[in-house]
Amino acid sequence: MGLRLRPATSTATVRRHAVVDSPIGPLALVEEAGALAGLSVEGARQGPVPDSFGTRDDTLLPHVREQLGEYFGGRLQEFDADVVLHGTPFQLRVWNALARIPYGTTGTYGQVARAVGAPRAAQAVGAANGRNPVSLLVPCHRIIGANGRLTGYAGGMERKEYLLRLEGALL
């Protein structure tokens, strides 16, 4: 089925979260109305604010936790999950474009800007990329600079490099 992204319909919903260990550190999975609403790595510069995660329940989102294990084990290339996103219309367009970047490949801010119909908005794409609330599933780590070099990543450059090597995008 693949990833099913939808915009949030309300800001006043109950959230809960689970914490999952991973090779890049603990991941917080935020659940809202039965869907994944946030996935962030401990210590990330941006992304969901821990105060917004809600109460902890490590039994939440078992299918996402299982898929993350498969992904980090090198056995999963495409996630299958319902995802609810809180963002501006522009951010939602960017996050949907990011979700279409295939496993094992990379893209640039300029390519994403063109894909969302805003060819001169590479910096705005970068800002939206940095605010991605569902890292890994919406693969913001696959964005590199136009010169082919690795660029910033809210989770840290070491993690970005690890993820791109895991996916075979960096040799």
Question: Catalytic positions, please?
Answer: 140
- The type of residue at 116 is V
Q: What is the DSSP letter of 69?
A: H
Q: Number of H helices and number of E strands within the chain?
A: 5, 8
100: left (phi over 0), alpha (psi -120 to 50) or beta: alpha
Is 46 within 8 Å of 130 (Cβ atoms)? Answer: yes
| Residues pairing with 3 in the sheet | 81
Q: Which helix (H) or strand (E) holds 37?
A: strand 35-41
d(CA 103, CA 160): 14
List Cβ neighbours of 28 (8 Å cut-off, separation of 6 or more): 17, 18, 19, 38, 39, 40, 41, 42, 48, 50, 53
